[in-house]
Amino acid sequence: MSIIDEDGNTVLKMSFLWKVGAMMLFTLISAQTCLLFTWGIWITSEVQKTKTDVAVMQSGISTIQSRVNGVSAQIGMVPKK
């Protein structure tokens, strides 16, 4: 790799270490981007799962409350001895 001016002359020639560093940087950026997208997909799925779990729990609470109200209404109707 080198930097060439408009006349075609080599202005700066990069050494092997610069090439390796540039490849490592590119690999690191690619890996971080992949990790970010994977994390985003995972978080989105977890949020959706949690929303579903909360909705199921709220439905269960409503069912329990209606049963308790029904039982308490029935208890009030039982004649005392």
Q: How far is CA 19 from CA 23, 25, 40, in A?
A: 6, 10, 32
Report how far residue 68's alpha carbon sits from residue 74's, in angstroms, rounded to the nearest whole number: 10
* Tally of domains in the chain: 1
Range of the domain at 7: 2-77
| pTM, entire model | 0.50
Residues in the chain: 81
pLDDT one digit per residue (tens) for the chain, 81 residues = 667 777 878 777 777 778 888 899 999 999 999 999 999 999 999 999 999 988 888 888 878 878 777 777 667 665 555
